[in-house]
A and B are shown apart, each in its own frame.
Chain A
C-alpha cells in the first residue's frame, strides 16, 4: 500500500509501544471502510427516507444586510403539497435562542435564533422554513413567500467592519468590533528598542470554505404513536447535536422547566451526582477559568443569564432527549462539528408538526451558509539582530467571523489557538499579540482543518521576509532560530511545554537533505529557458496534536476536561468483540486504525473487532466528537487503554478456566492459552460461554455482555507535538501567471505511525486543500458582502489534475508517553499555504502579502498588468 515516494526514517517497533501483542499497528492495513463505501453500501443521511417523510427548504435573504419589515406566507401555504411554513417569529415562539459556548473576556456573543425575524445579516440568512411533500414543492413554495426588506449597508471587508461608524450588525455590540485584546509575553518594548532591525509586513488571507463531498443534512423522525424523536444527521459530533436539539429545538416556559426539574428526582439525582463528580475531578481546572468573560457577556447581553437558567433547567428536567445517529458521513473538515441553525429549525418544525422531516442542503446553500473559514489579516513585526537572530515578535490579528458566531467552535477558540501557537518553534525573547474579532455580513466562520493555520502562514512568510532582507537563505534563518534537542526542557513564550516531540528543526534538516538544493540553480535556468520562473519555498511548524499536557490550559483555562476521551470495550455473550468510541468517523479511517490498535491489545485479527460509533444511545458521551487531530492520539489512546483493560479481565477469567496464573496466559490469533501450550487454548467464545454459565454476565452499553469495561483517556496523560517541514517548488508562467508545482515534499513527524498509508493520505489531502487555498479556492464577496462564488463555477476546488505527486517522508520521534501516536489530520493544510506562497515569492522576487494568488494577481505583483 505504501506509495513508492513514501520513505520512512527512524525506527518503529511495536514492542516499544507497550503492546508487543500483535503486528497490525504500524502497518499499511487496507482500509476496512473501503469496500462498503466503494460498492455503494454506505448509508448517508440522504439515503434514509422513511415512509411519509416531509422535506424542507429554506427561504433565505437575498441581501447581505437588511431589516425584515414583513413576511407573507399565505400564497406559499396554499400551494398543494405544502404542509407548513414556519417564519422567524414562529421560531421564537417554538425554540430557545443559541447560547454562548466558549466565552472570552471582552467578547460579545449575540443571542439569536435558528431563523431570523427582524434583521438579516448575510446573503443566505434563513428567514422561513417550508415543509412540503417533496424538496421540489418546498422550493416552489419558498419562491412564493413574500418577504419585504429595508436594505442596510452591507459590511463586506475587515476595513469596513473596523470603521466605528459602520452599520452595526449586532446593535447591542454598538459597532462591528466584537473582541479586542492585547497580551504581552516578555519585555516587548525593550527587545524591540534593543534589536538591530525591525521588519513589518501585513498578510491577508481571504475567506475559504470547507467543502465536503456530502453537504449538511438532517432527518428528524417523529414516531407518530409515541412522539419519540430520533435524528440522523451528517455531524462530526452526535452528542453535541443531541444536546443542542434538546436545549434549543423546543421551548418550555421558565416555571415549567423548573417544575419538571424539581419533579424529576431521578434526573435531578443523576445531575447532582454527575456535577459532584465533575467538580471533584476538575475543580482545580475550573477555578482557573476566567470569570470576567461571563461578566462581560452579561453586561452586553443581559438576557443571556435568564436564557441560560431557563435552557439549563429545561435540559435537566426533561428525559426525552432525541436519539441521534450518524452513520456514514461524506467529509466535514470541521464544518460538521458545528450545529447548524437549519438543524435546530428542522427539529423544531418536526416537533411542532409531529411528522418526520428531511433537509438535505444543496451546494448553493452550502457555499453560502455551510461554513467558511480563515479570513484573517495579520500584521507581523519581527525584531532581529544583524546576524539574523530573531528576538521579538509583534502581531496584530483581525479575524472576520462573518455574521453569526460558530456554534460551538468558531472564531473565539481559533483566536486563542492562533495566539498560543503564533511564535512557532522559534526562540523569541518577547511576543505581543493584539487579537480582534469583527462581524461582517458574510457566512459564518467555522473550524476548517487546522483552523489556526494562518499563524503558521503569516509567521513562515515573515521569516522569509526577514531572510530576504538580511541576505540569508530560508533554511539558514530557520536553523539558526529554531529550538532543538539541546534546548529541552523548554516552553513557548505563550506557555506550552516543548520537548523532544517538537522535532521541527530535525524535519527541516531532513528536508534540506532530500531537496537536492545543489540542483536548484540548474532548475532555475531551465525554467527561464521555457519562459518560466522557478522558486522554492520552505515552511516549518509544530501543532498541538494533542499537545503537551498543559497545552489546552494555556488556550482556554478550565476547559481541558472537554478533551477527555471515553471508550468501552466488550465481549458479547457469543464471544464477538466490540470497541465503542465517542469519535465520529467522517473519512479518517477510524474503523481501520482502531481495529489495528485493539486487535494488537487483544491478540485477535482486525476482522474480529467491531467498532461502534455515531449512535448516541450506544456511543460513549463526548461533546466534541471528531476534530482537532485527536482521533489518533486521544481517541486511539482510549482504545488502547480500554483494550488492555478488556484483555486483563478476559485473561483473568481464562486463567481461572485453565487453572493457571494470569501472568502465564497469553493470546495469539484469538487463542487464549498458557504460554508454550497453544494446543490447550480457549477461544473468546469459550470464555464468554463460561461467563454466561457461571452467571457472571455484566451490563454493557446496550445490553448484557460477557465482559464490558469502560475507561477515560485524558489528553493530559500523554501528549506531544506533531511537526513537519514542507518544501514546495513552483514554476510561474510569466505570460499567463499560471503556477505549476513540479515537486512537493513533506517531511513529517507524528511519532510512531499506526497506518502509514492512512497517514500519507491525510498529509496529501491536507496539502491538496492548501494548494486549493493559494491557487483556486476563494469564498469571494464584494465590498457590500454580496457573495461572488456561490456555485462550483466560481468556487474552484482543485481536482486530481491540479494536484502534483506529493512526496511524504516520515520521521518517528518517540516520546516516553504510553500512547505516542500524534495527530496528523490537519498538518498538511497548516504547512502548505506557507510553503507555496514562499515558493512563489522566491520565483517572482516580489514580496507576497496575499495568501490567495490566482493568475491575474501573480501578474499584478510582477508589474505585468495593472490592478483594476
Chain B
C-alpha cells in the first residue's frame, strides 16, 4: 500500500501554485490529504505531481462579511470549523455537520474545502453547500470563478472545477430571518460515511415554511436536493399530511445505491425517516428560538 511515484512541490505563493497546476496536466492539489493520499496508496489514483498548498498564506482564514456571509479558506481544517464561534453563529449548519466527519485525527488534518473539492457523495460538506446555496470560489492563472453549489457537483467524485483550478474558498451566504435547519444522518459506526444523511434547511415565518432545502448525501452519485419534496413543504407547517407527502416524494425520487452496508430499499427507507426527523428537528429549533 505504497503510492506510485509522483513529484511533489510546495510553493509558498498562490501564483506559484496556480502556475504549477496550469503547466502540469496530471497534477493534484494536496491540502489535508485525508482522501487523496489513501486513494494514491491504494493505487486507485496516480497523479504525477502533488501541489502542496499548506505553505500558502491567507488560505487558512475564516472571514465573516458585514452581512453575515462566511468565507472559509482552502486550508481551514474541519477541527477549525468545529471550533469557530463565527461559523457557529453565522453558518450553524456548517458547524453542526463538522463533528460527523470522520474521526478527530481526520478532522485535524482534513479541510472543509478539500472535502467539497473531493465531492464524495457520502460526505457531509457537499450536502451542506447544496442546502445553503453556497458559492465556490475557484482560481487559476486565468483568474477567479464563482460557481454556485447547484452547478458544482457534477457527478461521482466529479465537480465543475477545471484541472488547472484551485478551489480557494467556499462562501456560505448569510441566513435570512426565520432560517432554521438540522443535520441528521445514520451511519454504521460513529465517524463512518453515512448510510444516508440529510441537511435540512427551512425558513419558517409564523409557523409556515416559506423556503425549504432538503440536501441528501450517501444516497446517489452526488449529494442531491429533492425539489419535489421541498415544494410540498413550502406553505405548510411541516407536520402531519404535508410531511407525509414530502416523505413519499423523497422515497419516490431518490434511487440510492446498494452495497454491503445497505440495500437500495434500506437507504430509500432511511431517506424517508431522515426527512421526518430532519424537518421535525428544524421546526422544533425554530419554535425554541421564537420562544
A-B contact count (CB 8 A): 76
Which residues of the other chain, B, contact A284 by a CB distance below 8 angstroms? none
- Cβ contact within 8 Å between B263 and A867: yes
Q: Mark A837-868, 1 if CB is under 8 A from B, else 0.
A: 00000000000000000111001100011111
- Cβ contact within 8 Å between A865 and B266: yes
Docked Cα-Cα span, A867 to B260, in Å, equals: 13
Residue of A nearest to B268 (CB): A865
Which residues of the other chain, B, contact A281 by a CB distance below 8 angstroms? none
- Cβ contact within 8 Å between A796 and B192: yes
Residue of A nearest to B264 (CB): A868
Given the known A-B contacts A736-B270, A736-B273, A859-B266, are A868 and B258 also in contact in the complex, defined by CB atoms under 8 Å?
A: yes
Q: Mark B244-267, 1 if CB is under 8 A from A, else 0.
A: 000000000000001111111110
Residue of A nearest to B122 (CB): A793
- Cβ contact within 8 Å between A136 and B3: yes
Residue of B nearest to A780 (CB): B260
Q: Does B190 contact A (CB under 8 A)?
A: yes
Q: Does B189 contact A (CB under 8 A)?
A: yes
Q: Does A362 contact B (CB under 8 A)?
A: yes
Docked Cα-Cα span, A193 to B62, in Å, equals: 79
Docked Cα-Cα span, A736 to B266, in Å, equals: 9
Q: Does B83 contact A (CB under 8 A)?
A: no
Given the known A-B contacts A796-B192, A798-B189, are A363 and B260 also in contact in the complex, defined by CB atoms under 8 Å?
A: no
Q: Does A738 contact B (CB under 8 A)?
A: yes
- Cβ contact within 8 Å between A865 and B263: yes
- Cβ contact within 8 Å between B188 and A796: yes
Given the known A-B contacts A136-B2, A856-B262, are A364 and B42 also in contact in the complex, defined by CB atoms under 8 Å?
A: yes
- Cβ contact within 8 Å between B260 and A855: no
Residue of B nearest to A791 (CB): B42
Docked Cα-Cα span, A859 to B273, in Å, equals: 13
Docked Cα-Cα span, A778 to B262, in Å, equals: 13
- Cβ contact within 8 Å between B43 and A868: no
Q: Mark A768-807, 1 if CB is under 8 A from B, else 0.
A: 0000000010101000000011010110101101100000
Docked Cα-Cα span, A794 to B189, in Å, equals: 11
Q: Does B1 contact A (CB under 8 A)?
A: yes
Which residues of the other chain, B, contact A196 by a CB distance below 8 angstroms? none
Shortest distance between the CB of A127 and any CB in chain B (Å): 17
Q: Does B212 contact A (CB under 8 A)?
A: no
Which residues of the other chain, A, contact B270 by a CB distance below 8 angstroms? 736
- Cβ contact within 8 Å between A736 and B186: yes
Interface positions of B from 158 to 194, Cβ below 8 Å from A: 186, 188-193
Interface centre among B1, B4, B43, B192 (most CB of A within 10 A): B1
Docked Cα-Cα span, A735 to B265, in Å, equals: 13
Q: Does B5 contact A (CB under 8 A)?
A: yes
Partner of A789 from the list B2, B186, B260 (CB cut-off 8 Å) is B260
- Cβ contact within 8 Å between A855 and B43: no
Partner of B188 from the list A776, A791, A867, A868 (CB cut-off 8 Å) is A776
Residue of A nearest to B2 (CB): A136
Which residues of the other chain, A, contact B5 by a CB distance below 8 angstroms? 136, 140
Which residues of the other chain, A, contact B191 by a CB distance below 8 angstroms? 799
Partner of A140 from the list B4, B186, B189, B259 (CB cut-off 8 Å) is B4
Residue of A nearest to B263 (CB): A868
- Cβ contact within 8 Å between B273 and A855: no
Other than the given A791-B42, A855-B262, 20 more pairs (CB < 8 A) read A136-B3, A136-B5, A139-B43, A140-B4, A362-B1, A364-B1, A364-B42, A736-B270, A736-B273, A788-B260, A793-B193, A799-B189, A801-B190, A854-B262, A855-B186, A855-B188, A859-B269, A860-B266, A865-B269, A866-B265
Closest 3 CB pairs of A and B: A856-B266, A136-B2, A362-B1
Q: What are some 16 contacts across the A-B interface (CB < 8 A)?
A: A136-B3, A136-B5, A362-B1, A363-B1, A736-B273, A788-B260, A793-B192, A799-B190, A802-B190, A854-B260, A854-B261, A855-B262, A856-B262, A859-B269, A865-B266, A868-B258
B residues engaging A (CB < 8 A)? Answer: 1-5, 42-43, 186, 188-193, 195, 258-266, 269-270, 273
A residues engaging B (CB < 8 A)? Answer: 134-136, 139-140, 143, 362-364, 735-738, 776, 778, 780, 788-789, 791, 793-794, 796, 798-799, 801-802, 854-856, 859-860, 864-868
